[in-house]
Amino acid sequence: MNQPGKNIPFEDVQRLMEKLERLETENKRLEQENRLLREKVDFILRRMFGSSSEKLHPGQLELMLSLQEEAQAAGKGEASLLLEGEAVPAKPRAKRERRERVPEHLPVVEEILEPEEVAAEPEQWRRIGEERTELLDCEPARYVRRVIIRPKYVSRQNKDAAPVIAPLPALPQERCIAAPGLLASIAVAKYCDHLPLYRQESILRSRHGIALPRSTLARWMELVAFWLEPVYRHLQGEVLQSGYIQVDETPIEYLDPGNGKTRQGYFWTAHSPGGDTIFHWQTSRAAACLENIIPVDFSGILQCDAYAAYASFAGKRSGIELAGCWAHARRHFYDARAHVPLRSDWILRQIGHLYAIERGLREQKAGPALRAVVRSTQSRPILARIKRALERLAASGLHLPQSSFAKAIAYTLENWKELTRYADSGLIEIDNNLVENAIRPTAIGKKNWLFIGDANTGQRSAIIYTLIESCRRRGIDPQAYLRDVLTRLPGATNQQIPQFTPARWAEARSGKLPKAA
């Protein structure tokens, strides 16, 4: 060991310096890894326990503007990297009018309460007025035994002639005790109200004294899907003829018979803005699934997220252009706010201006021509500002490539062509939220019923989901629709199938075609 005061050999000093350099390098690597792991843990905790809303507080704009003024005064700083030509914030929306607590369209049941004195001697009293109190009440569902009676007759003049009897109405299935109203009720309870069949079985038995096993209810849902399939196929053709569809997919567990386990399938959803939504069942998420959904002769715009299957599919088809979704890009920056608040908020504020322009166009009920002009003059400058800022941030090297903010930048720049395609057209939406909203009921449902039956059950569920979603978007009572359609479909011809779509069904009753929400 070297004694104090003696010179340390140069070789030892060099080894110590190299060791110190290695330790410093390792320390930096561990710090970066620790920072990235903290970001991932925070992200998971926010997804599990935090708010799902991506709205920004109005006070954040004031913070951005104050930072802009400071940056302009100093001529440098973090804010100067981003803030330039901030757009004017949109005006706050007016408050909605308060709705009536008791809707006027409900049937009225009057209950008259006479004072005891008047009831005892009514001839001694003269009525001078009344006090009215309105309450919202509910009567429980009622199950009935519907008996169809068909009298037989013989001719008085020709006693040898065969008896005559009215024909039996066409029923969904012979020797099936379920009337169309019951089939509609069970289907709506499961696919609209998310009530699993085992719960419906329990309710029927405990509250109404009706013993119907779950297997019977499942077979009846298969019967409903069988009769609705021609209407489903007709809607599918209408959606794919539009030339512009939004596509998304959501995972659904299904049983794997014989193994006692579940596998993961998918509902692929195709939506035509202003039209209907079609659910398709596939047992995988591969790009090949799109071949089974989108016909070979389809050409036009396919709006989707950045999942690689869509790009792979579009690359094999001529005449298909991809449009991106700004909601997905915004979500990446929102997830990065906890670690890079200033720059993430600035980007989110710019995206908010894009959405404010779209909100104004919807309030004006603008057509494609006006939307194209407004986007060209107002949205394009904001998009250019966002791109300049993202390119400067990407080139600055201030953020680790694996950090959430760097990933958000990379996602947006890599998909910039698709994300800005909407600004070149008045037909394309800014995001894919319309099709995601259509998928949302299935996400709520699978939390209740957890999984569907075998793989064949998936397509039956897709058929019923499609018709119920079409009713929901047009404000149609799905139970009234299904009851009427299941009553008339068994006696209908193929040429009459278009009359049974929810839109045409509602038009026949109201005299006008209802628009989808």
What are the pLDDT tens digits along the chain (517 aa)? 455 555 667 677 777 787 888 888 878 777 777 777 776 676 666 666 655 556 665 555 455 545 444 444 444 455 455 545 454 444 556 666 666 677 888 889 999 999 999 999 999 999 999 998 888 888 888 889 989 999 999 998 888 889 999 988 888 888 889 999 999 999 999 999 989 999 999 999 999 999 999 999 999 999 999 999 999 999 999 998 888 999 999 888 887 766 667 888 899 999 999 889 999 999 888 988 998 889 888 899 999 999 999 999 998 888 899 999 999 999 999 988 888 888 999 999 999 999 999 999 999 999 999 999 999 999 999 999 999 999 999 998 888 888 889 999 999 999 999 999 999 889 999 999 989 888 887 777 777 777 777 777 889 999 999 999 999 999 999 999 999 999 999 999 999 999 999 999 999 988 777 777 6
Q: Say whether both 317 and 440 belong to one domain.
A: yes
Number of domains in the chain: 3
| Domain presence at residue 13 | no
Q: Say whether both 319 and 461 belong to one domain.
A: yes
Q: Say whether both 319 and 439 belong to one domain.
A: yes
Q: Say whether both 292 and 421 belong to one domain.
A: no
Q: Say whether both 476 and 414 belong to one domain.
A: no
Q: Say whether both 316 and 336 belong to one domain.
A: no
Q: Say whether both 346 and 385 belong to one domain.
A: yes
Q: Say whether both 410 and 292 belong to one domain.
A: no
Which backbone phi and psi does 485 adopt, to 5 degrees?
-70, -40
Distance CA 259, CA 236 (A): 34
Q: Say whether both 319 and 444 belong to one domain.
A: yes
* Region for residue 32 given its phi and psi (left: phi exceeds 0; alpha: psi -120 to 50; beta: otherwise): alpha
Distance CA 181, CA 484 (A): 8
Q: Say whether both 251 and 375 belong to one domain.
A: no
**What is the extent of the structural domain holding 245?**
238-324+434-470
Sequence-distant (6+) residues with CB within 8 A of 301 are 243, 244, 245, 320, 321, 322, 323, 421, 425, 427, 428
Distance CA 239, CA 460 (A): 19
Distance CA 179, CA 484 (A): 11
Q: Are 246 and 270 in contact (CB under 8 A)?
A: yes
Parallel, antiparallel or unpaired: strands 300-303 and 244-256? parallel
pTM for this predicted structure: 0.79
Q: Are 342 and 79 in contact (CB under 8 A)?
A: yes
Classified as helix, coil or strand, 245 is strand
- Residue 387: count of CB within 10 angstroms of its CB: 15
| Domain presence at residue 25 | no
Q: Say whether both 423 and 440 belong to one domain.
A: no
| Domain presence at residue 287 | yes
| Domain presence at residue 90 | no
Which two three-digit tokens encode residue 483?
């009851």
Q: Say whether both 345 and 399 belong to one domain.
A: yes
| Domain presence at residue 30 | no
Measured CA to CA in angstroms, residue 388 lies from 155, 183, 340, 384, 414 at distances of 91, 58, 18, 6, 14
| Domain presence at residue 86 | no
Parallel, antiparallel or unpaired: strands 261-271 and 152-153? unpaired
